[in-house]
Amino acid sequence: MAEFLRLKKSNCKNCSKCIRHCPVKSIRFSGNQANIIGNECILCGHCFVVCPQNAKEIADGIETAKVLIDSGAPVYASIAPSFIANYENIGIDNLRDALVKLGFVGAEETAVGATIVKKEYERILAEGTKDVVISSCCHSINLLIQKYFPHLLPYLADVKSPMQVHAEWIKAVSPDAKVVFIGPCVAKKDEAEHYGAVDAVLTFEELAKWLREKNIEIEQGKDKTKESLARFFPTTGGILKTMTERNPIYQYLAIDGVENCIAALEDIAKGKIHHCFIEMSACAGSCTGGPVMEKYHNSPVKNQLDVFDYAGDEDFPVKKPEGLTLDKQFEAIDKKMIRPSEHEIVETLRKMGKTKPEDELNCGSCGYKTCREKAVAIIQGKADVSTCLPYLREKAESLSDNIMTNSPNGILLLNENLEIQKINTVALNIVNMKNASDLMGEPIVRILDPSAFLQVMSTGKVVKDKKVYLTEYGKYVEQNIVYDKNYHTLLCILRDITEQEKAREHREDINRQTVETADKVVEKQMRIVQEIASLLGETAAETKIALTKLKESIDE
């Protein structure tokens, strides 16, 4: 599968939102970046829609379309019927005029092909040979069945999509023609490449970009010509609305959204559903809720009302050209992911801190429905242990508790109201308190002078190794205070230096006593010197100098 949906690495912030919204979990995290796994992806575009950093992008087909036009071949545009919801108050005639200015020979509605397709559905259902028939217009649903429910392929209608049929219809009329499909879907790019008929695919957003480049504006004014039932196709239940002939042995149902379609496919696999024609759409609201529509024109009710207003009561007057075949073969697509053993799953759960069944919270915060699914993803290299939020929280709390418990220093955490949020045992001992519960939520002024905390909050400057005497407790501490503005928290670390201070005071007392003794010795020596000055001469002066130096040394 070509890379039609890809990651802009510089933008991805590892928020994991894409994996939480991916219905088939076809995203792998590596190097703190989300990577789309091509052989598992069904190109529903959910990750493109929900990414808050716009880190997912759809492969641009504008250059391919330009090359086709420059080749000299007549290039026609096949316009998805959801265009009426994307371009407000603009009909097919207005859009055709703008496309001709870009170099297209002409533009037609894909609904022409949809008319032929719905007649083929009616023919299959009239035969009544299949128990369950699933519509095959949505390429994402086709990929879902091919990759995840290959055993249900016999139920998938072997009919080409309206896009393919319309392209072949155009080429039957104009054999040298090239066809560019324009719609709200990224999956159509893959369908065009894999099955042919369509030479290039653009999204509505790509067309808008191209028109801006050429300074072309689409004229306002919605035409009401050639009203057609097939224009209902891009809405939920739209295919059913077009079917004027129904076989009473079948129930006719419409399901949208990948999750709902998966649930229906699981019921079909279990034999719970019979005698049904099921119209399946990967997007909620069908094509009017396509990834490009939802990203840039998210008005689900209005989008469908616009389509209803533009649709008609009769079919386009078209017939299937001679030689045009409608059969489409769907093959199973191997995802090539080996299911890990139970032992591997249990070991991985243990690494996630899930040692007992009750540890498996299945909270879904990582994007996977269960902890076991997450463990399988880790083994398959699609996820990392670190994306388990309860595990990370427990790990952080455990680390915090270990630091608080085993630190030789007193630790306090305060909020911006200077209320104690956490205090360890060492800090309690410093302030002569027994129970932390007695101080939780209390203002710091109850046990410490708040002025240093207020200073740190106002200036943002860290208080480091500030010596403070706590008169009330008779203790000396070195105080360190840090203000975390982002988390509105103050951290205070107290190092009890009372013993060191007492030892210092003791040393100073000894020094003082030594100095006093030296003074007395000097004074006594001087008296003796005066008495025997005549005998000692210069020796007395030398003695005085030596004793003075001794005193100065002790003072220092």
CATH number of the CATH domain containing 451:
3.30.450.20
Task: With respect to residue 215, please indicate whether it lies within any of the assigned structural domains.
Answer: yes
Q: Domain boundary residue among 276, 310, 344?
A: 310
Task: With respect to residue 392, please indicate whether it lies within any of the assigned structural domains.
Answer: no
Q: Evaluate whether 384 touches 368 at the Cβ level (below 8 Å).
A: no
Whole-prediction pTM? 0.71
3-state class (DSSP) for residue 13: coil
Residue 240: per-residue pLDDT: 94
CA-nearest of 50, 33, 114, 105 to 80 is 114
> Within 13 Å and on the Cβ side, how many CA atoms surround 208?
12
The helix or strand, by DSSP H or E, that contains position 423, with its residue range, turns out to be strand 420-423
Domain of 85, CATH number, reads 3.40.50
Residue 233 CB-density burial (10 A; 0-12 exposed, 13-18 middle, 19+ buried): buried
Q: How far apart, in whole angstroms, are the C-alpha atoms of residue 489 and residue 479?
A: 16
Extract the tokens encoding 42. Answer: 């069904």
Backbone angles phi, psi at 2, to 5 degrees: -65, 160
267 and 212 in a common domain? yes
203 and 99 in a common domain? yes
Contacts of 454 (CB under 8 A, 6+ apart): 418
Q: How far is CA 246 from CA 118, 123, 252, 320, 446, in A?
A: 11, 10, 9, 20, 81
Residue 379: per-residue pLDDT: 76
Extract the tokens encoding 507. Answer: 């040393």
- Average pLDDT per run of 10 along the chain, which is 556 residues long? 71 76 84 80 88 83 93 94 87 91 93 92 93 95 95 95 94 92 93 92 93 90 71 92 91 94 95 95 91 76 86 82 85 80 80 77 73 78 70 70 86 93 92 90 92 92 91 91 90 91 84 80 74 60 68 65
195 and 111 in a common domain? yes
Task: With respect to residue 424, please indicate whether it lies within any of the assigned structural domains.
Answer: yes
Task: With respect to residue 344, please indicate whether it lies within any of the assigned structural domains.
Answer: no
CA-nearest of 88, 78, 60 to 210 is 60
Task: With respect to residue 328, please indicate whether it lies within any of the assigned structural domains.
Answer: no
508 and 492 in a common domain? no
Q: Domain boundary residue among 474, 496, 518?
A: 496
Residue 141: per-residue pLDDT: 96
Q: Domain boundary residue among 291, 310, 329?
A: 310
Angle, vertex CA 120, rays to CA 114 and CA 126, nearest 5: 135
230 and 175 in a common domain? yes
SS3 annotation, 238-299 = HHHHHCCCCCCCCEEEEEECHHHHHHHHHHHHCCCCCCEEEEEECCCCHHHHCHHHHHHCCC
Q: How far apart, in whole angstroms, are the C-alpha atoms of residue 474 and residue 107?
A: 90
CA-nearest of 473, 484, 480 to 409 is 480
DSSP 110-152: THHHHHHHHHHHHHHHHHT--SEEE----HHHHHHHHHH-GGG
Residue 57: per-residue pLDDT: 81
531 and 470 in a common domain? no
Extract the tokens encoding 423. Answer: 């205090």
415 and 518 in a common domain? no
Helices (H), 149-183: 162-173
Domain encompassing residue 143: 60-310
Q: How far apart, in whole angstroms, are the C-alpha atoms of residue 502 and residue 465?
A: 18
- List strands edge to edge, sheet with 251-256: 132-134, 276-281, 251-256
DSSP 64-125: HHHHHHHTTS-EEEEE-TTHHHHSTTB-HHHHHHHHHHHT-SEEEETHHHHHHHHHHHHHHH
Extract the tokens encoding 331. Answer: 């093959």
255 and 113 in a common domain? yes
Packing angle, helices 162-173 and 187-195, rounded to 10: 50
Residue 215: per-residue pLDDT: 93
Q: How far apart, in whole angstroms, are the C-alpha atoms of residue 247 and residue 122?
A: 8
How many distinct structural domains can be found in the chain?
3
3-state class (DSSP) for residue 415: strand
Task: With respect to residue 295, please indicate whether it lies within any of the assigned structural domains.
Answer: yes
433 and 534 in a common domain? no
Residue 137: per-residue pLDDT: 93
515 and 486 in a common domain? no
549 and 453 in a common domain? no
505 and 444 in a common domain? no
In the chain, the amino acid numbered 299 is S
Q: Evaluate whether 12 touches 33 at the Cβ level (below 8 Å).
A: yes
Task: With respect to residue 341, please indicate whether it lies within any of the assigned structural domains.
Answer: no
